Amino acid sequence: MKHLLKLGDLSKEEILSLLNLADQLKYERKHGISKEYLKGKKLGMIFQKSSTRTRVSFETGMYELGGYALFLSNRDLQIGRGEPVQDTARVLSRYLDGIMIRTFAQQEVEDLARYGSIPVINGLTDYCHPCQVLADLMTVRERKGSFKGLKLCFIGDGNNMANSLMVGAVKTGMSFAIACPEGYEPDPALTAWAKENGSFLMTRSPAEAAKDADVIYTDVWASMGQEEEKTKREKAFCGYQVNDAIMSAAHSDAMVLHCLPAHRGEEITEEVFEAHADEIFEEAENRLHAQKAVLCKLLG
């Protein structure tokens, strides 16, 4: 494993090994065991979009591992004024030990890895969000014990989260169901791959997707960069809310996960969100542990 550009690049064994390391790092942190696995290492964090969790968990993660993280906003970098990513990659490779990038086009992340000579971590693109899904998988396994026989259901937009969750579920042997409105399906190549390699259902009916699910997942209706489509999307997604009716179709002990930030009253009701807040905030905490595992594997 040289980079984390998308989950599809990792084998099942690599994913499980990251999750095992994440569990170990979580245990060590809880028990006050601090080991500087990345002493003196430097991570550059390029953000072309906003972030709370990704920024803070990567930054504190590097600090806890004995390394250092630099926050690089596109408002300050020459990248924001048009310096090509190919040049940025070659320059940053001479200063840093790794780069985390959050941006729009997946191609930019792939180019950074191609032209640079240090590990690149995808901190979210329009196409996928692999770091989030590693934390999600960690949370599911922690609560349910294993992935065996589980069904993960995603309600809403076939966006970056849906794309990565689909891959994560199939790779770990969970069955995956998505309910989304017409025109908002996940990536067609990934959908075809999921159909071939796992148990996959795509439907317009949230109740059908949620039937007997062990994990219900949702995300915002309008992602970063889609702010102008907000009104149009509110109409398209109005039947795609995680609420009590959806939860009654799922198993009675079903978990609810949300990558956050959440819009209560849109993709999820206040009641369902608060009833599952323990799971959702454990999931947010697990970003830290899962990303520390990624950093140790790539920069260690």
DSSP, collapsed to helix, strand or coil, labels residue 18 as helix
Residue 224 interacts with ligand NVA (CB under 6 A)? yes
Binding mask 229-268 for ligand NVA (x = CB under 6 A): ------------------------------x---------
Residue 139 interacts with ligand CP (CB under 6 A)? no
Which of 4, 38, 220, 272 touches ligand NVA by CB under 6 A? 220
Q: Where are the alpha helices (DSSP H) in 157-267?
A: 160-171, 188-197, 206-210, 230-236, 244-249
Residue 175 interacts with ligand CP (CB under 6 A)? no
Distance, in Å, from the CA atom of 4 to the CA atom of 8, rounded to the nearest integer, reads 10
Distance, in Å, from the CA atom of 287 to the CA atom of 114, rounded to the nearest integer, reads 26
User: Any idea how long the chain is?
Assistant: 300
Distance, in Å, from the CA atom of 10 to the CA atom of 28, rounded to the nearest integer, reads 25
Q: Are 246 and 207 in contact (CB under 8 A)?
A: yes
Residue 100 sits at φ, ψ, to 5 deg, of -110, 135
Q: Looking at 214, 259, 276, 289, which residue is catalytic?
A: 259
Q: Looking at 3, 53, 129, 141, which residue is catalytic?
A: 129
- Residue 159 binding partner per list ligand CP, ligand NVA, none, with a CB distance cut-off of 5 to 8 Å that depends on partner kind: ligand NVA
129 catalytic per annotation: yes
Tokens (6 digits) for 70: 């630099």
Residue span binding ligand CP (CB under 6 A) among the ranges 34-42, 48-56, 181-189, 292-300: 48-56
Point out the residue whose Cβ comes nearest to ligand CP: 54
H-helix or E-strand spanning residue 101: strand 98-102
Q: Looking at 132, 233, 276, 289, which residue is catalytic?
A: 132
Binding site for ligand NVA (CB under 6 A): 124, 159-161, 219-220, 223-224, 259
Site for ligand CP, rule CB under 6 A: 51-54, 124, 132, 259-260
